[in-house]
Amino acid sequence: MANGNGNVVRPQTTEKEDEENIFLFIPNLIGYSRVVLAIASLYYMPLHPRTCSILYSVSCLLDALDGLAARRFEQSTKFGAVLDMVTDRCTTACLLVFLGSAFPRWSIIFQGLISLDLASHYMHMYATLSMGGSGQSHKKVDESRSWVLKMYYSNNKVLFTFCALNELFFIALYLLSFSSPYLSPTLLQVNDAPSSLQPGTPAAPKPSLLNVYPWSAGAMELARANKMDSTVPWVLAVISAPIMAGKQWINVVQLVKASKWLAEGDRLERKKQGLPRRKGNAKKAL
């Protein structure tokens, strides 16, 4: 467009018109769908193992799809990376909480796994932002700092395999809490007879005779007992167990390396401040 003097006049655009809506980026929309599927799986988790497992698995598989979409459409964002990590940590923690209630004898192990997962990722993220700069991704790891983490984060196939089979192991344990009398035998006994390892036995009294509240732990244990065959869950658990163990080792390495990196930064900062002060200078400061 030209004005009366023949000069070209470009239409002015407001700042809002130039702003991109990060929240509506395709990878982030996929992230929101993961959250919805995860919440739905938690709703079905107490009593519907098949439905819960399908919803939970789809939510986990979409974790790979949002990364592909981010690279394909050039929509990688810090918000998306944090949304992805928070969703992963929360969904895994919720499943482990259920496993802790399903296998109370081993609840301390599941509590430890939750703590390790949260602590290692928080320390790694904080160390990356604090020492590497606010613009550095937590997936960018220097090989000199840790070749294990370098391989884990830089190779998408390795990252996907470890994360997928780690979740598969916990899903298999979840299914076994419904199907394997060896791992979760019926809590109820009839005429002081020991619980049978045959699925569906012994015949138990009606829940109403034992639990006034239908959502009590005992009533839910009775409703869960032996609802499906345990062959497939056992196979999945055996196949994925070594990778799950490797994932926990990586979490330990990540926690240790992040701690050392933060301590290295602390030493440099203290050196800049002239710490520790000599005894004479310290007395003068007092």
Q: How far apart are alpha carbons 180 and 277 in whole angstroms?
A: 63
Amino acid type, 202: P
**Active site annotation includes 88:** yes
Name the residue among 167, 176, 174 with its Cα closest to residue 229.
176
Q: What single string gives the DSSP state of each residue in 148-160?
A: HHHHHHH-HHHHH
Q: What single string gives the DSSP state of each residue in 245-268?
A: HHHHHHHHHHHHHHHHHHHHHHHH
Q: How far apart are alpha carbons 104 and 183 in whole angstroms?
A: 11
Q: Is 75 helix (H, G, I), strand (E, B) or coil?
A: coil
Name the residue among 41, 36, 30 with its Cα closest to residue 65.
30
Catalytic residue, chosen from 66, 88, 117, 229, is 88
Q: How far apart are alpha carbons 204 and 201 in whole angstroms?
A: 8
Among all residues, which ones are annotated catalytic?
88
